[in-house]
Chain A
Amino acid sequence: MKPLIVSPAPHAHSGDSVRKNMLLVIAALLPAYAVSLVAFGWGALITTLISVAACVCTEWVVAKYILKEKPTLGDCSAVLTGLLLAFNLPSNLPWWIVIIGAVVAIGVGKMTFGGLGQNPFNPALVGRVFLLISFPVQMTTWPQPQGFAGGYTDAVTGATPLSYLKNVLKGQGDMAASLPDLKDALLGMTGGSLGEVCALALIAGGIFLICMRVITWHIPVSILATVAVCAALTGWCGILPADMCTGQYVAYTLLTGGLMLGAFFMATDYVTSPMTGWGKIIFGIGIGLIVMVIRTWGAYPEGMSFAILIMNACVPLLNRIRPRRFGEKVRAAATDKK
């Protein structure tokens, strides 16, 4: 008999792997990607391809030549970051800006901290916010959905639903009429970043991930619930114009902007979100509150990226919340008795 193999128990594994999880998330993003191609045409295609390619190349170069380690491209995390970064950008962004964003996202947002698993901030959002601050004009002119008929960088641009909503809150009431149909907001035929427009596809993708146990329900539900509650409160406070009811306002708040993309795909990023159930819920509530504060009173129409990055910074603190220990209630009761 050949020498036997000996290792500590357990000798079975679920078959789960990092790559499997990444591929499932990419799969969950495909419906939204398909809609973005229909809505934004060439811009969507080119931006996504450049973003993914640039992220992968940056990771390979940094791993091999700067960190001098074996590049771990096989786990597909760079591909996912590239895809998510592209989803957060307007599809008419010039290719060289996309590349800069990708280099910053992977190079600074991920590799400077030591590679996968070590970064405190969501890399795609680091790239996006860097671009937002460095190229504010290009990053805040969104194309209207025209499909492949519209060009790439010369697509016709216009205001997005969120900018309309912001004006609504500032009291320019008649803007409410120029808001797109809720149906369009759901299906993605509105202006906005590449991947954030189709709420329906994103929700479907998110539910798919929860069913496949890639993510848990805690973060998306707490974000959406907090935002809905805040929007409802805003409505009840009476600062909405007469021709918009609270329900409509809540619906628009939930379905437009980067909320769905952020809630299901960005905030749930493994590395930068808390490890325990309660930690995730508080994380989600925090994001929801910050987003609503920025959307209501802040200078920007959209605050999702900032909200997520701010809460990412709080994650080490949230990780100090312990999960429910077995026998905890009994232990608490016992110490009370003493």
Chain B
Amino acid sequence: MNLIVISLLVLGITGCAAALLLYLTARKFKVEEDPRIDEVQEVLPGANCGGCGFAGCRALAEACVKSDSLDGLLCPVGGAPVMEKVGAILGMTAAASDPKIAVVRCNGVCAARPKTSEYDGVKNCRILHSLYVGETACPFGCLGCGDCVAACPFDAIHMNAETGLPEVDEEKCVACGKCAQACPRGIIELRKKGPKGRRMVVECVNKDKGAVARKACLNACIGCGKCQKECSFEAITVENNVAYIDSEKCRLCRKCEGVCPTGAIHAVNFPPKKPAAPAAEGQQTQPTAQKEEVQA
């Protein structure tokens, strides 16, 4: 019996001493931090994706607590609901934000962009890009090896085996920007999602002269400038033989889509155009007829 009592006492005292030591040490070396940082971090998603521009969710939490307003601070994963909660904790209003999405600005599908060589190396876009122009004649187009797919932490982008191009999942993409960084050709851009997810995109970044670009890919932008002339809102600029639509100015009228001779401009997430009624509709039929002509 004595043995048991002695054992209990010894272990008990050792345990208590250790606990006291830990408590005192924790007190002495405690880092004084604003407790709100922990609170903010709690409501953040915890993906540590870097999409906010900071090195992880804790860094964003610190930035929010230390700054005077929430302007310019946005968690793309959580979006507006999470920023509102952060605002509630800190007593600030969350800035209104335009959700963004990754957009693949290449429509060089296998059918439109003939292969001029066969690549037999490692399936890695960065390596292929530093080696040569790629399996087609377009030095700016998508290489199809999937560096973007590998970089995405949200499983929001996948290669389409038929077209050879990556496709972004609208639901899952949070515009963290990892795919855009991974792409060695700068094809992926973070653009505004647009009202009801509708946006106009020039799906080409080929800077070669029109004839050269067209020879490499039937869907290329040839820099003809028709879209720029047609746009009444000055939203389109043509530089280096390629057109670019400024999403801030674009009003989604779809007129540019109608005049593009190669079909490089795409209207994303719009409802399908109603079939053109006979002349009774008047001016409305004109653009539609043009597009049908071109597509014929």
Instruction: With a 10 A CB-CB cut-off, give which of A4, A6, A7 has the most chain B CB atoms.
Output: A6
Residues of B within 8 A of A3 (CB): 115-118
Tell me, yes or no, whether A8 is within 8 Å of chain B by CB. yes
Q: Does B120 contact A (CB under 8 A)?
A: yes
B131 touches A4 (CB 8 A): no
Quick check: is A237 within 8 A (CB to CB) of the other chain?
Answer: no
Within 8 A of B (CB), among A2-39: 3-8
Tell me if B117 and A4 are in contact (CB < 8 A): yes
The answer to whether B127 touches A5 (Cβ under 8 A) is no
**A3 to B118, alpha carbons, bound, how many Å?**
6
Pairs across A and B, CB under 8 Å, 25 listed: A3-B115, A3-B116, A3-B117, A3-B118, A4-B117, A4-B118, A5-B117, A5-B118, A5-B119, A5-B120, A6-B117, A6-B118, A6-B119, A6-B120, A6-B121, A6-B131, A6-B132, A7-B119, A7-B120, A7-B121, A7-B131, A8-B121, A8-B122, A8-B127, A8-B131
How many residue-residue contacts, CB under 8 A, span A and B? Answer: 25
- Inter-chain CA distance A8–B121, complex, in Å, is 6
Interface size on B, residues (CB 8 A): 11
CA distance A4 to B120 in the complex (A): 10
- B contact residues around A7 at 8 Å (CB): 119-121, 131
Residues from 123 to 176 in A contacting B, C-beta threshold 8 Å: none
Q: How far is the CB of A293 from chain B (nearest CB, A)?
A: 37
CA distance A5 to B119 in the complex (A): 6
Beta-carbon nearest neighbor of A3 in chain B = B117
Q: How many Å from the CB of B244 to the closest CB on chain A?
A: 31
Say how far B134's CB is from chain A's closest CB, in angstroms: 9
Kindly state the separation between the CA atoms of A4 and B119 in the bound complex, as whole angstroms.
9
Contacts of B119 in A (CB 8 A): 5-7
Shortest Cβ distance from B118 into A: residue: A5
Interface residues of B in 101-148 (CB under 8 A from A): 115-122, 127, 131-132
Q: How far is the CA of A5 from the CA of B131 in the complex (A)?
A: 13
Among B194-240, those with CB < 8 Å from A are none
Q: Which residue of A lies closest to B120 (CB)?
A: A7
Where the two chains meet, the residues of B that have a C-beta atom closer than 8 Å to any C-beta of A are: 115-122, 127, 131-132
Residue in A closest to B114 when the chains form the complex, CB atoms:
A3
Q: Could you tell me the distance in whole angstroms from the C-beta of A271 to the nearest C-beta in chain B? A: 23
A3 to B120 alpha-carbon distance, docked (Å): 12
Q: Mark A45-64, 1 if CB is under 8 A from B, else 0.
A: 00000000000000000000
Distance from A8 Cβ to chain B, minimum over Cβ atoms (Å): 5
Give min CB distance, A75 to chain B, whole Å. Answer: 21
Q: What residue of chain B has the Cβ atom nearest to residue A8's Cβ?
A: B121
A5 to B122, CA, bound (A): 13
CA distance A7 to B121 in the complex (A): 5
Which residues of chain B are within 8 angstroms of A6 by Cβ–Cβ distance?
A: 117-121, 131-132
CA separation between A266 and B263, bound complex, in Å?
65
Residues of B close to A5: CB separation below 8 A = 117-120
- Which residues from chain A contact B122 at a C-beta distance below 8 Å? 8
Select from chain A the residue with minimum beta-carbon distance to B115: A3
Q: How far is the CA of A7 from the CA of B135 in the complex (A)?
A: 11
Bound together, the chains give a CA A8 to CA B124 distance in angstroms of 12
Chain B min CB distance to A12 (Å) = 14
B120 contact set on A, CB distance < 8 A: 5-7
Cα(A10)–Cα(B132), bound, Å: 15
Whole-angstrom distance between the Cβ of A161 and the nearest chain B Cβ? 51
- B128 → A minimal CB distance (Å): 9
Residues on A with beta carbons closer than 8 Å to the beta carbon of B121: 6-8
Q: How far is the CA of A6 from the CA of B131 in the complex (A)?
A: 9
Least CB distance, B139 to chain A, in whole angstroms = 14
Output the least CB separation between A124 and chain B (Å): 33
Cβ–Cβ < 8 Å partners of A8 in chain B? 121-122, 127, 131
> Which residues from chain A contact B116 at a C-beta distance below 8 Å?
3
Which 10 A-B pairs have CB atoms at the shortest separation, nearest pair first?
Answer: A7-B120, A7-B121, A5-B118, A3-B117, A8-B121, A6-B117, A4-B117, A5-B120, A3-B118, A8-B131
Complex Cα spacing A177 to B118, Å: 74
Distance A6 CA – B127 CA, assembled complex (angstroms): 12
Once bound together, how far apart are the Cα atoms of A5 and B118, in whole Å?
A: 5
Q: Bound complex: CA of A169 vs CA of B115, how far in Å?
A: 76
Chain B: minimal CB distance from A42 (Å):
51
Cα–Cα distance between A7 and B119 once the two chains are bound (Å): 6
- With A and B bound together, what is the CA distance between A5 and B120 in angstroms? 7
In the bound complex, how far is the Cα of B136 from the Cα of A6, in angstroms? 12
**Alpha-carbon distance between A7 and B131 when the two chains are bound, in angstroms:** 8
Distance (whole angstroms) from the CB of A57 to the closest CB of chain B: 33
Question: In whole angstroms, how far apart are the Cα atoms of A7 and B122 in the complex?
Answer: 8
Q: A3-B116, A6-B131, A8-B131 are in contact. List 17 more A-B contacts (CB 8 A).
A: A3-B115, A3-B117, A3-B118, A4-B117, A4-B118, A5-B117, A5-B118, A5-B119, A5-B120, A6-B117, A6-B119, A6-B132, A7-B119, A7-B120, A7-B121, A8-B121, A8-B127
